[in-house]
Amino acid sequence: MDLNKVMLIGNITQDPEVRTTPQGQNVCSFSVATNLTWTDQSGQRQQRAEFHNIVAWRKLADICAQYLQKGKKVYIEGRLQTRNWQGQDGLKRYRTEIVADNMIMLSGGPGTNKTAGAPSATKSTSAKPDAVPTVDLNADAKSTKPVATVAAGSNSQSGTITIEDIPF
């Protein structure tokens, strides 16, 4: 059995760039930075940033291009892939990237009316660019039940979903 799974939480370092392949498929690429913090032997706090190249395809590419922007916090789930090609100088080049299967916005994006820091979930298989589901974790501080609210476009209705409404 093999497993190729990546899960990242980090900040977007550049605005997403969308391209279309000759076959008509949209592809979006951007970079996410994650930070590693540790204390060395002398007690000094150390920090190192790691930069990850992210690639999203088809519907998820459209969603990433529409809602993500530089500086926003995001959760990315996907798989590692290394591409190789022949450079113009004749040398073989390599690029390791994460092919995204799922994206969750952890801070507000453009065109949404939620507060910064309220997470919103966007899956490549079920999301529509005009309706981004959001989870309001601060909706009722006395309640222990999470409540999801759908921030919908002009032609959709919004509603409240309780944990009992989720079938799994």
What is the DSSP pairing of strand 120-123 with strand 92-105?
A: antiparallel
Does some domain include residue 78?
Answer: yes
For residue 30, being part of any structural domain is answered with yes
Is 62 within the bounds of a domain? yes
Question: 147: domain CATH number?
Answer: 2.40.50.140
Q: What number of other Cβ atoms are within 10 A of residue 67's Cβ?
A: 22
Q: Is residue 1 a part of any domain in this protein?
A: no
Q: Over 80: is that where the pLDDT of 105 sits?
A: yes
What is the tally of structural domains in the chain? 1
pLDDT tens readout for residues 114-156: 333 333 444 444 343 444 444 343 444 444 444 433 333 333 3
Residue 42 lies in a domain: no
Q: Kindly state whether residue 123 falls inside one of the protein's structural domains.
A: yes
161: in domain: yes
Q: Is 81 helix (H, G, I), strand (E, B) or coil?
A: strand
Residue-range definition of the domain harbouring residue 10: 6-37+47-165
User: By the 8 A CB rule, do 56 and 25 touch?
Assistant: no
pLDDT at residue 72 in the model: 92
Query: What would the pLDDT profile of 41-84 be if each residue is shown by its tens digit?
Result: 999 999 999 999 999 999 999 999 988 999 999 999 999 999 88
Give the whole-angstrom CA distance, residue 67 versus residue 78.
18
